Amino acid sequence: MGRDQATINRLQHQAALFYLNRFGIDVNAPENTGRVIFRSFMLDPRLEYRAYHVSGMKAPEEGWVVRDGGWILIISDPSGYTLGGEFSGLTVAAGTMFFYGEYNIDVQKSKSKPDEDNENIIISYRAGSPALTNSVGLLPFSCQIALKPLTDNFSDGTEGLAQGIGSAIIPDINGVIHANVRNALTFNDQGAVV
């Protein structure tokens, strides 16, 4: 995203505040040391995360590259963690994840219309609920989304939902990671449909 360190620090604080307000997890509290992992992340482009259908636009057959990154929170306490905030009293298992980040869809210029001025599509997201890999190795997730970058924040309301499922991202015997994620983003009447 080409951001300076001061902006990255501000966004990290924004993510931590979101996790505190929505899920009651203070990522900076000494008592949470060893119980939670809070860190920045970025999906490796080699995972081939791509957008194939965008309403009102014509994506190429190979799709557009989706760059995905932000701040992830993972419950690492083997005994689980009892949430607060909007999920007060709900106990989640170790391995439960929460997401806060952005999709940056690399909308490439059409070969037939090279003079088109296409900008990347930036969509920010935040966990709508906890996400946990189930017993058959699938990770269902649901996030609230907005058609603006994280620097604009979206503390009140959202414009839509990102809902999907992914396979567990675990290296095979040779250390190669294989991923399979399906994600559908839908916007309400204040936005569009992606």
Does 39 fall in a domain?
yes
Residues 6 or more apart whose CB falls under 8 angstroms from that of 158 comprise 126, 144, 145, 146
Give residue 169's pLDDT: 66
Domain span holding position 134: 5-187
Whether the per-residue pLDDT at 73 is higher than 80: the answer is: yes
Total structural domains in the chain? 1
State the average pLDDT for the chain: 86
Predicted model pTM: 0.85
Q: Which pair of tokens denotes residue 18?
A: 């979101």
Burial of residue 54 (number of CB atoms within 10 Å: 0-12, 13-18, 19+): middle
User: Which pair of structure tokens corresponds to residue 11?
Assistant: 């966004």
Is the pLDDT reported for residue 190 higher than 60? no
Is 128 inside any structural domain? Answer: yes
Phi-psi region of 21 (alpha: psi -120 to 50; beta: other; left: phi over 0): alpha
If 0-12 CB within 10 Å is exposed, 13-18 middle and 19+ buried, where does residue 39 land?
A: exposed
Q: Within a domain: residue 90?
A: yes
Query: Is 192 contained in some domain?
Result: no
Q: Residue 117 in contact with residue 77, Cβ under 8 Å?
A: no
179 domain-assigned: yes
Q: Is residue 20, in this structure, part of any structural domain at all?
A: yes
The answer to whether residue 194 sits within a structural domain is: no
DSSP 163-191: EEEEE---B-TTS-B---EEEEEEE-TTS
Is 193 a member of any domain?
no
Q: Considering only CA atoms, which of 12, 75, 10 is closest in space to residue 39? A: 12
pLDDT category at 191 given cuts 50, 70, 90 is very low
* Mean pLDDT computed over 115-131: 84
The answer to whether residues 76 and 101 touch, using CB atoms and an 8 Å cutoff, is: no
Convert the pLDDT of each residue in 26-63 to its tens digit: 999 999 999 999 999 998 877 888 899 888 888 899 99
